[in-house]
């Protein structure tokens, strides 16, 4: 285990949320409901001292490298962009920071599931027996992560999506809202599956695939964000690496 790693669903220190866009605001809601103190948001697009849903903005992303904050707070990176979420989370670890997770109290997580660090699991998500959720993964509400499913590091499962027993998502894979990945299909790393798709066979790395049955539309370049279909709360800069 990484010596800097600390999976901490309910940390004994206040939590700094990196990103004050919709993911960040939803994470704040989960933490507040669960009784976890929220120290504030970091977001390059907001102004220091501004309040977002009553939570103070403490500065931009660069404050995640601030020694004092690293010592006294835990962090969760709540950005929809899988690549940036992973890079910022890893940078915080490398600086010795503690990562918190946000698991909604209405999520149903099997005791045999393995949950990574720095993850978010939204309301009414079901994570069934022996499923594995990789570090920094984001599991939206009303999803089912079936038995023995493996979600790679910084994977994203959109609202209402079903990943059925035995399926696997590679690192940074993105499954759109209401899509179904039928086990034992494998979705390659950094591949994007469009909303409502039905995936029954393996998909390679870094492709965009849509429809039911799913078809590959085009390859994705390494620079292309898997989050290109969504409004951004931040720019592309990853200042901590
Ligand atoms: C697939 C997606 C990422 C768009 O990617 P894009 O590169 O902008 O794709 P385009 O709009 O250029 O569409 C490419 C082709 O795929 C089709 N397409 C796009 N999204 C589709 C979808 N979800 N289902 C079926 N077909 C789709 C387009 O009609 C187009 O078809 P054509 O080439 O025959 O004209 C987006 O449509 C999508 O599904 N995003 C998921 C959003 C989501 O679930 N968000 C949850 C966040 S909380």
* 87-119 pLDDT per residue, tens: 999 999 999 999 999 999 999 999 999 999 999
The mean per-residue pLDDT over the stretch 63-83 comes to: 95
Confidence label for 224 from pLDDT (cuts 50, 70 and 90): confident
CA quadruple 107, 108, 113, 119: dihedral, nearest 10: 0
When pLDDT is averaged across residues 231-235 and rounded to a whole number, the result is 42
Between 204 and 230, the more confident residue is 204
Query: Which contiguous run of DSSP H or E holds residue 71?
Result: helix 67-72
Q: Who contacts 4 (Cβ-Cβ below 8 Å, separation ≥6)? A: 93, 94, 95, 96, 97
Q: What is the pLDDT of residue 232?
A: 43
Residue nearest to atom 43 of ligand 1 (CA): 176
pTM of this structure: 0.92
Least Cα distance to 192 among 209, 213, 171, 177 occurs for 209
Residue 241 scores a pLDDT above 90:
no
Q: Could you tell me the distance, in angstroms and rounded to a whole number, from the CA of residue 128 to the centre of ligand 1?
A: 29
What is the CA(174)–ligand 1 centre distance, in A?
A: 12
Which residues have any ligand 1 atom within 6 Å of their CB?
Answer: 140, 158-159, 176-177, 192, 194-196, 208, 210-211, 217, 229-230
d(CA 8, CA 5): 9
- HSE-CB of 146 using CA atoms within 13 angstroms: 15
- The domains found in the chain, sorted by start residue, are 7-102 (3.40.50.20), 104-215 (2.160.10.10)
Q: What per-residue confidence (pLDDT) applies to 1?
A: 32
**pLDDT-based confidence at 237, cuts 50/70/90?**
very low
What confidence score (pLDDT) does residue 222 get? Answer: 83
pLDDT at position 226 over 90: no
- 62-66, 68-72, 225-229: lowest mean pLDDT where? 225-229
Residue 38 CA to ligand 1 center (angstroms) comes to 35
pLDDT above 70 (res 82): yes
The CA distances from residue 7 to 33, 56, 91, 147, in Å, are 19, 24, 15, 22
Average pLDDT, the chain: 91
**Across 117-145, average pLDDT:** 98
Contact between residue 205 and residue 190 where contact means Cβ atoms under 8 Å apart: yes
């Amino acid at each position: 285990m990484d010596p800097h790693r600390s999976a901490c669903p309910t940390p004994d220190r206040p939590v700094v949320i990196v990103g004050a866009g919709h993911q960040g605001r939803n994470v704040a809601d989960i933490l507040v409901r669960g009784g976890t103190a929220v120290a504030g948001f970091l977001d390059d697009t907001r102004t220091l001292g501004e309040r977002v849903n009553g939570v103070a903005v403490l500065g931009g992303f660069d404050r995640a490298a601030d020694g004092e904050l690293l010592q006294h707070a835990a962090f969760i990176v709540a950005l929809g962009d899988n690549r940036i979420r992973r890079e910022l989370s890893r940078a915080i670890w490398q600086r010795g920071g503690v990562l918190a997770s946000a698991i909604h109290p209405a999520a149903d997580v099997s005791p045999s599931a393995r949950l990574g660090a720095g993850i978010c699991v939204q309301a009414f998500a079901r994570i069934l027996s022996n499923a594995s959720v990789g570090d920094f993964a984001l599991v939206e509400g009303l999803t089912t992560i079936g038995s023995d499913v493996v979600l790679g590091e910084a994977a994203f499962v959109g609202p209402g999506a079903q990943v059925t027993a035995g399926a696997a998502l590679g690192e940074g894979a993105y499954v759109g809202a209401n899509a179904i990945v039928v086990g034992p299909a494998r979705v390659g790393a950094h591949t994007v599956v469009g909303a409502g798709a039905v995936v029954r066979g393996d998909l390679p790395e870094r492709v965009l695939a849509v429809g039911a049955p799913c078809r590959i539309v085009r390859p994705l370049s390494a620079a292309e964000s898997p989050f290109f279909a969504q409004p951004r709360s931040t720019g592309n800069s990853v200042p901590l690496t």
